[in-house]
Amino acid sequence: MTRADEDAIADYRERFAQIMVESGMPRMAARVYAALLVTDSGRLSAAELAERLSVGAPAISGAVKYLVQVRLVERGREPGTRHYFCRIHEHTWSHYISQSDPVLVRVQTGAGEGVALLDPDSPAGRRLDETRRFFAFMREEVKESMAKWRRLQESGREDGRAAGSPPP
């Protein structure tokens, strides 16, 4: 790979990280995630991440902690060493979305508790009931969408389009 290729990839990595920041991800976590995403192995050590992103170990540590917490990456250890690495989950986004049900359940349940506590006909009770119903709806939609995605992957159509449909 030439220096120009490396520079182009680094520029792309930062542009993609900015997209993630604008979507709500913390800046350093977005940069770490993007670095892993553009690496063929999908796996880098903390030292490699620090070197590629020109930041210190504490910044990498905090970013990795966040990414592990939201289930976009996992930490591992090289066998026989004390060196840790960070690895992007295979099928990252489908993994991320399929793991979201416990969060959706907590919001749905919490909203339901509020409806039971408040007058269901009050403005607050109606808002909480709408929240409860929305999250119940989203849980079902995620479940159906993930089943559809698995079928598309199995059929070789990972772009999410039905066979023969035009690109977006």
Per-residue pLDDT reduced to its tens digit, 35-46: 999 999 999 999
Q: Where are the domains of the chain?
A: 3-92, 100-154
Q: Under CATH, what is the fold of the domain 3-92? A: Arc Repressor Mutant, subunit A (1.10.10)
Q: Which of 6-10, 29-33, 118-122, 150-154 has the highest mean pLDDT?
A: 29-33
- The answer to whether residue 33 scores a pLDDT higher than 90 is yes
* CA atoms of 106 and 127, how far apart (whole Å): 16
* CA atoms of 32 and 44, how far apart (whole Å): 10
pLDDT of residue 159: 59
How many percent of the chain have pLDDT more than 70?
A: 93
- The answer to whether residue 164 scores a pLDDT higher than 60 is no
Residues found in the chain: 168
Tell me which DSSP letter residue 42 carries.
Answer: S
* CA atoms of 80 and 57, how far apart (whole Å): 22
Q: How many Cβ atoms from other residues are within 10 Å of residue 82's Cβ? A: 6
* CA atoms of 50 and 60, how far apart (whole Å): 6
Mean pLDDT of the chain: 89
What band does 2 get if pLDDT is binned at 50, 70 and 90?
A: confident
Give the residue from 43, 47, 51 showing the smallest Cα distance to 6: 51
Give kind and range of the element (H or E) at residue 76. Answer: strand 73-77
pLDDT of residue 157: 60
Q: Which residues contact 132 (CB under 8 A, 6 or more apart)?
A: 108, 111, 112, 115
Q: How many Cβ atoms from other residues are within 10 Å of residue 61's Cβ? A: 15
Give kind and range of the element (H or E) at residue 94. Answer: helix 92-98
Q: Over the stretch 78-92, which tens digit does the pLDDT of each residue have? A: 788 777 899 998 888
Q: Over the stretch 126-163, which tens digit does the pLDDT of each residue have? A: 999 999 999 999 999 999 999 999 999 889 865 555 55
Q: Which of 66-75, 82-91, 105-114, 151-160 has the highest mean pLDDT?
A: 105-114
